Amino acid sequence: RKEVEQDPGPFNVPEGATVAFNCTYSNSASQSFFWYRQDCRKEPKLLMSVYSSGNEDGRFTAQLNRASQYISLLIRDSKLSDSATYLCVVNMDPWNNDMRFGAGTRLTVKP
Amino acid sequence: NAGVTQTPKFRILKIGQSMTLQCTQDMNHNYMYWYRQDPGMGLKLIYYSVGAGITDKGEVPNGYNVSRSTTEDFPLRLELAAPSQTSVYFCASSPGQGLNTEAFFGQGTRLTVV
């Protein structure tokens, strides 16, 4: 089993749609979780951290289910500018910041 | 704000050649990392450093070396380039250990070994 596994995608959605991505992780001792966004041929950038109680930032909602070892990202009212690859990141060892990346889920929002 | 700066942005190497990928950060971060990203794949950790003078292997260290003589710089050395090292290389830094520590990435170096 891969350490961090994501929906393979690609997801092609119309503007205004709601889309959800899931990510599972193998190490039950993992302590912190993130979603990064990566535009084509660019570096990854932090989108949001994922907190145990779930958290929301505008149109984006992240949730964590420790029992099932999965993380989700929900995007509401999709915009053309949301088109990117979304990377699930799990910090397996906070003391060394041992961050493991999923392969990414590609999203294309169409007019 | 420069953040994390990588050079060069692009490079073509012949098999067996060597090169150094440069990475410098101006945020006074203790932690620095080198990742590689192959097409359609996630980032794989090559080496990391928790402070000047300290380095450690990541998931895929074979064929690479690093040094960390200063807080700012974390160069990655390829000694005998192989086609399997064709990839995009990202350097990153973060302020320190702990939960919810954001990593800041450089713009990447696209390396092709022919």
Report pLDDT digits (tens) over B34-78: 999 998 788 999 999 989 999 999 989 999 999 999 999 999 999
CB contact under 8 A, B97 and A104: no
A43 contacts on B by Cβ (under 8 Å):
90, 105-108
Which residue reads 């509401």 in tokens? Answer: A76
pLDDT for A98: 78
What distance in Å separates residue B108's CA from the closest CA in chain A?
A: 6
Would you place residue A3 in the very low, low, confident or very high pLDDT band (cuts 50, 70, 90)?
confident
**Residue B68: CB atoms within 10 Å:** 19
Option in A45, A49, A87 nearest B100 (CB):
A49
Of A4-8, A17-21, B35-39, B106-110, minimum mean pLDDT range: A4-8
Residue B15 reports pLDDT greater than 90: yes
Q: Is A49 on the interface with B (CB under 8 A)?
A: yes
Alpha-carbon span A21 to A86, nearest angstrom: 9
Does residue A60 contact residue A48 with C-beta atoms inside 8 Å? yes
pLDDT for A99: 83
Mean pLDDT (whole number) for B79-84: 94
pLDDT for B27: 93
Q: Is B34 on the interface with A (CB under 8 A)?
A: no
Residue B97 reports pLDDT greater than 90: no
B56 contacts on A by Cβ (under 8 Å):
96
What distance in Å separates residue A46's CA from the closest CA in chain B?
A: 7
User: Cα dihedral sign for A60, A57, A50, B57?
Assistant: positive
Q: Is B56 on the interface with A (CB under 8 A)?
A: yes
pLDDT for A1: 67
pLDDT for B87: 97
What distance in Å separates residue B79's CA from the closest CA in chain A?
A: 25
pLDDT 10s digits, A37-91:
999 989 999 999 998 888 999 999 999 999 999 999 999 999 999 999 999 999 8
What average pLDDT is seen over chain B? Answer: 92
Q: Report the amino acid identity of residue B58.
A: G
Option in A43, A51, A104 nearest B108 (CB):
A43
Q: Is B60 on the interface with A (CB under 8 A)?
A: no
**Residue A41: CB atoms within 10 Å:** 9
Would you place residue B28 in the very low, low, confident or very high pLDDT band (cuts 50, 70, 90)?
very high
pLDDT for B99: 57
Q: Is B38 on the interface with A (CB under 8 A)?
A: no
